[in-house]
Amino acid sequence: MPLKEQEQEQEDGLRDRLVRVGVELVNTEGLQALSLREIARRAGVSHGAPRRYFPTHLELLSAIARQGFAELAARVAEEDPEEATARERIGVLARVYLDYAETRRGMYELMFRHDLLESGRFGLRETSLPLFAHLAGLVARARPAADPAVVAGVLWANLHGLAQLWHWGSLRLATGGDDPGPLLAAALDAHLGPEEPAP
């Protein structure tokens, strides 16, 4: 292999390693642990090395967040019962979303940081919007007379609120419950109408 190609491969490998280390760090220690210095230390490089691949801290955080969106999309695809009704598939997507928010807390918080999502420069829109489009497509089938983007938007906002308030303990305190399932069912009924009983 020519020297230039070897050097490029090494650079790509280091870039990927920095992102991989960042993913591991946010999943094990949370969002507050994601400093450039700590990522560099764990990747075994100088603290200035990440700047060669990610000129700003936000660019590295965005690359890490893209991995989170990819993982969430993969989980949704894996769990999605394509033979089921649109309503049932939305229910599965919603449960996967809430589970991801709970089990990947640091990553979830990173994925929805405003400073990362607002800018089109960091590539998060291209990674996050397909998942929303998938939800809107299912909503269009479940509620053909409604505006799918609007219903999907308010449903997503409701899911995000459920995820946050459940994690903080506020909903447990307010409702006295220890299972978010009934709250999710009520949210789906509110936005999609009651689920039709099986024949």
Encode pLDDT of 166-193 as tens digits.
Answer: 999 999 999 999 999 999 999 999 999 9
Of 110, 121, 36, 28, the closest CA to residue 67 belongs to 110
* pLDDT for 137: 98
pLDDT at 4 over 80: no
Average pLDDT over residues 35-61: 89
Cα separation values, 145 from 119, 128, 148, Å: 33, 26, 9
More confident of the two residues 7 and 67 = 67
Of 161, 68, 163, the closest CA to residue 117 belongs to 68
**Residue 79 and residue 101: Cα distance in Å, rounded?**
16
H-only helix segments in 123-198: 124-142, 148-168, 170-175, 181-192
Q: Are residues 107 and 26 in contact, defined by beta-carbon separation less than 8 angstroms?
A: yes
Least confident of 28-42, 120-134, 160-174: 120-134
Q: pLDDT tens, 102-132? A: 999 999 999 988 787 776 666 777 888 899 9
**Angle of CA points 128, 129, 132, to nearest 5°:** 100
Average pLDDT over residues 89-95: 97
* pLDDT for 115: 80
